[in-house]
Amino acid sequence: MRLSHLGLPVRDAERSQRFYATYFGFDLGTARTYDDGTVIISDSDGFDLALHQAAEVGPAPEFLHFGFRAASPDGVRALLVRLEGDGVPVIERDDETDHVAFKCADPDGHRVEVYWEP
Task: Specify the DSSP class assigned to residue 58.
Answer: P
CATH (one of 3.30.460.80, 3.10.180.10, 3.30.360.10, 3.40.50.720) for 1-54: 3.10.180.10
Q: How many CB atoms lie within 10 A of CB 58?
A: 8
Q: What is the pLDDT of residue 95?
A: 96
Partner residues linked to 67 by β-bridges: 113
CA distances from 105 to 40, 52, 60 (A): 20, 17, 11
pLDDT > 90: percent of the chain: 94
Superfamily of domain 64-118: 2,3-Dihydroxybiphenyl 1,2-Dioxygenase, domain 1 (3.10.180.10)
- DSSP-derived letter for residue 88 is P
pLDDT digits (tens, 9 = 90+) for 11-41: 999 999 999 999 999 999 999 999 999 999 9
**Residue 111 confidence (pLDDT) above 90:** yes
- What is the tens place of the pLDDT at every residue in 76-96? 999 999 999 999 999 999 999
The residues of the chain that CATH labels 3.10.180.10 are 1-54, 64-118
CB 53 within 8 A of CB 60: no
Question: Of 96, 86, 7, nearest to 54 (Cα)?
Answer: 7
- Rounded mean pLDDT of the chain? 96
